[in-house]
Amino acid sequence: MDLFGEFRKVEIDGKPFLVYHKVMKPLPQIHTPNSSDEETTIEKPLSIQNEETSSDEETIDSGDNLPLPLLFACPIVRLTSTVIIDNITLQDDQGKSVEHFFNLKTSPFHGDNTSVDHDPVLPLFWCNNKEADPENDCVICRAEKVGTDYYYCVECDMRYHKECVESPLRINYPSHANHSFQLYSSKKRFKYCIMCRKKVNGLVYYCALCDMYMHTLCAQAVIPFFIDQPKRHAHILTLFPRQASLTCNICGVLDELHFTYVCPICDFVTHADCIYIPQTIRISRHHHCISFTSSLLKGKWSCGVCRQEVDRKYGAYTCNACNGYTVHTRCALRNDIWDGKELEGVQEDEEVEPPFKRISDGIILHFSHGCQMELETSGVHVGGNKFCQACALPINEENFYICVECDFILHETCAEAPQKKFHPLHPHALQQKVVHENDLFLCDACDRLCNGFGYECTFEDCDYILDVVCASASEPFNYQGHQHPLFLALRPNVKPMCHICKSTKENQVLNCIEGDFIICFECATLPYVIRYKHDDHYLTLCHGEEASDSDWCELCEGKLSTGGEKGFYKCDDCCTTLHINCLLGPNPFLKPGQTFTLGRNEFLVIRNNSPRPICGTCNMRRPYPVMFFWESDHRSITKPKEKSSKTLV
């Protein structure tokens, strides 16, 4: 037997609701003397004995032709059966799990599926406890805890939501009447449910034509005809009978995906999900909490996130401490902006602990180092042979702190960087992390390898991390190569081209709201002026369009235009030109002298003291300033002169 879902109007305690119904019909390939193609509605799981049937439910004849009670199958059986039917591979050659996204093909009932790992006659047990177990997740949808009522599989020792176990292969949703949603198994954690706006992972409903996702719980939730929410509106709100182009008074947006509720008394319109928005929140783009207001004072308002105009007639979030700071309701509640916490009545965090203790004038004790450090302010170029332990960039003519007992060095700006901060790229707080030996990470903003200090997310199960240079970027971002300030005004799903490296980035980029200039974090965090050992002047970062056909790189001796008119460094006094990668390398935030482990190999980061060494992997000459050095027989790191070693640039 197969199910599909639809919504019907019913009364509960005298009040009307749209309630999800499961409609049962035989699978096309199954034909028995007692079966028919007529649809039969069921309200309760047929695996549960002695359950009452609602009065408005269509019933099955009570004679000899009554079919045997059906048992629901374990959801793992459904996934396994679909994998077998479609010959889906869920592991790579090394046996590691890979991302998968496939349409379920099997019924939720026992007997309709092929199982290889489960007893096909073993039923699920229905559990109804007095108290919920906070430790038990539904392992098939991973959306919420199972609560007090759930199915339990003895074979798997797993608990499942009722909605997940009984989920039909397709469902018709009232606000999306043109297409049905199909049941999928997904690991696309970057996608969001159109109802609750939380990430989807596991069992989900998906409309391929519209690229829309819904959690199984959201797709089967009861839809009330009337909502009483005095915190948001004084009168009872009524479900509008059809999806119409009505602007929501709370978010100011036309959205036909969500149900619309209206108040005829006040001419008030709201989306179903806007009724329950939080009053006070913290967003990543502002250093104070912001609160919701139903309308704004007369004037011109601009959103602090998307930088577009805010219509004062509709609701928005404002900052009580900063006059004029406003954010669109939808922008403020974006998953990459807000951490999901309601802060009404919660006192804002106090000042964070400073990163160092000042011993005396020019002497500090930094949290990352056990010895006292002394400030050097000579402004003399030290030759670029000393590196900051935090950002991994060379010490040039900047002020820096140096340990009085060893060669531990920090730029003055890096030493003053706070231990904890909120960054506009991430909704959660970030904590500064001291990267130790054998440690390496990939920055989530610029996608570069780094072994300097990092700022990692403090939120559980979130592995977001930034290097110190990207973490120091703020909004507005003042880029020396552009006359206007830059903002993170584009939505994350927009993939524009960077004007420097000419590549389309998956990560968020900085853009100019006065023009069309766009720059990625990989290019925005490059030093705008830099030293080159064979030039007495500073070199300046230039756009690729500024290169002429006769310009060539002094290190690799290749044409600058061969890189697709990418950016380059140039000395206007000496006419010296260099590719960015040739001068800095693909990973400029790596400190020489440290080792790290990748797979079974140990790598040593070394400075390139040769003109153009040959890479042991691609056999090409590479002029990069920093290289990886490893030993081919997987033993300890040796010096470059020993025969068993290999240089990997």
Residue 82 banded pLDDT, cuts 50, 70, 90: low
Of the ranges 300-314, 377-391, 485-499, 580-594, the best mean pLDDT one: 300-314
Task: Give the span between the Cα atoms of 78 and 425, in whole angstroms.
Answer: 39
The pLDDT of residue 190:
61
Return the percentage of the chain with pLDDT > 70, whole number.
76
Of the ranges 3-17, 304-318, 333-347, the best mean pLDDT one: 304-318
Instruction: Report which DSSP code applies to 68.
Output: P
Task: Give the span between the Cα atoms of 83 and 87, in whole angstroms.
Answer: 5
Higher local confidence (pLDDT), 619 or 631: 619
Is 183 within 8 Å of 125 (Cβ atoms)?
A: no
Higher local confidence (pLDDT), 148 or 599: 148
Non-local CB neighbours of 564 within 8 Å, separated by 6+ positions: 502, 544
Structure tokens at 77: 């059986």
Stretch 11-24: mean pLDDT: 77
> Among 30-44, 90-104, 447-461, 464-478, where is mean pLDDT lowest?
30-44
Task: Give the span between the Cα atoms of 429 and 494, in whole angstroms.
Answer: 25
> Among 88-92, 141-145, 213-217, 436-440, where is mean pLDDT lowest?
88-92
- What separation in angstroms does the CA of 284 have from each of 102, 305, 339, 464? 34, 9, 8, 14
> Among 41-55, 509-523, 601-615, 635-649, where is mean pLDDT lowest?
41-55
Q: Which residues partner with 267 through β-bridges?
A: none
Higher local confidence (pLDDT), 563 or 453: 453
3-state helix, strand, coil in the chain (%, to 5): 5, 30, 60
Is 538 within 8 Å of 529 (Cβ atoms)?
A: yes
Non-local CB neighbours of 569 within 8 Å, separated by 6+ positions: 530, 532, 539, 540, 541, 542, 577, 578, 579, 580, 583
Let me know if 474 is exposed, middle or buried by CB neighbors in 10 A (0-12, 13-18, 19+): exposed
The amino acid occupying position 376 is: E
> Is the Cα torsion angle 428, 145, 122, 79 positive or negative in sign?
negative
> Is the Cα torsion angle 404, 405, 409, 415 positive or negative in sign?
negative
Element (H, E) at 598: strand 595-598
Tokens 């903002």 correspond to 487
For strands 158-160 and 170-173, give the pairing: unpaired
Structure tokens at 238: 């009524």
Short-list 600, 602, 593, 587, CA closest to 649: 587
Higher local confidence (pLDDT), 513 or 642: 513
Residue 40 banded pLDDT, cuts 50, 70, 90: very low
Kindly report the average pLDDT of the chain as a whole number: 77
Stretch 373-396: mean pLDDT: 76
Stretch 270-275: mean pLDDT: 88
The amino acid occupying position 559 is: K
The pLDDT of residue 426:
93
Q: What is the DSSP string of 269-308?
A: EEETTTTT--SEE-BTT-SS-EEEES---SS-EEBTTT--
The pLDDT of residue 301:
92
pLDDT of 302 over the 90 cut: yes
> Among 107-121, 238-252, 470-484, 550-564, where is mean pLDDT lowest?
107-121
For strands 149-153 and 125-128, give the pairing: antiparallel
pLDDT of 332 over the 90 cut: yes
Domain boundaries, the chain: 1-25+70-224, 277-342, 356-416, 430-474, 526-584, 594-648
The pLDDT of residue 634:
38
For strands 280-281 and 176-186, give the pairing: unpaired
The pLDDT of residue 86:
52
pLDDT of 519 over the 50 cut: yes
The amino acid occupying position 42 is: I
Stretch 166-188: mean pLDDT: 82
Select 356-416's CATH number: 3.30.60, 3.40.50, 3.30.420, 1.10.287: 3.30.60
The pLDDT of residue 243:
65
- Residues 195-225 have pLDDT tens digits of 887 788 788 888 888 888 888 888 888 888 8
Stretch 481-493: mean pLDDT: 89
- Residues 85-129 have pLDDT tens digits of 554 544 444 444 444 566 676 666 555 544 444 445 556 788 888
Query: How big is the CA angle at 620 (ends 615 and 622), to the nearest 5 degrees?
Result: 70
Non-local CB neighbours of 50 within 8 Å, separated by 6+ positions: none
- What separation in angstroms does the CA of 268 have from each of 140, 241, 285, 333, 643? 39, 15, 30, 21, 79
Q: Is 514 helix (H, G, I), strand (E, B) or coil?
A: coil
Short-list 539, 541, 544, CA closest to 560: 544
Instruction: Report which DSSP code applies to 398.
Output: S
Structure tokens at 550: 């006769």
Q: Which residues partner with 597 through β-bridges?
A: 602
pLDDT of 39 over the 50 cut: no
pLDDT of 328 over the 90 cut: yes
Short-list 196, 108, 115, CA closest to 160: 108
Instruction: Report which DSSP code applies to 542.
Output: E
The pLDDT of residue 383:
55
The pLDDT of residue 3:
61
The pLDDT of residue 379:
59
Q: Which residues partner with 74 through β-bridges?
A: none
Short-list 609, 612, 601, CA closest to 640: 609
Beta strands in 273-426 (DSSP E): 280-281, 290-293, 301-302, 309-310, 316-318, 326-328, 356-360, 363-366, 373-376, 400-403, 409-411, 420-421
Is 104 within 8 Å of 78 (Cβ atoms)?
A: yes
- The CA radius of gyration of the chain, in Å to the nearest whole number, is 31
Non-local CB neighbours of 404 within 8 Å, separated by 6+ positions: 371, 372, 373, 374
pLDDT of 345 over the 90 cut: no
pLDDT of 184 over the 50 cut: yes
The pLDDT of residue 103:
66
Element (H, E) at 569: strand 568-571
Q: Is 17 helix (H, G, I), strand (E, B) or coil?
A: strand
pLDDT of 38 over the 90 cut: no
> Among 125-134, 367-376, 402-411, 569-578, where is mean pLDDT lowest?
125-134
- Residues 545-577 have pLDDT tens digits of 777 777 888 888 888 765 455 788 998 888 888
The pLDDT of residue 36:
40
Is 433 within 8 Å of 440 (Cβ atoms)?
A: no
Task: Give the span between the Cα atoms of 427 and 284, in whole angstroms.
Answer: 5
Q: Is 413 helix (H, G, I), strand (E, B) or coil?
A: helix
The pLDDT of residue 147:
80
Stretch 295-316: mean pLDDT: 92
First to last CA, the chain: 60
Q: Is 561 helix (H, G, I), strand (E, B) or coil?
A: helix
Structure tokens at 455: 């700022």
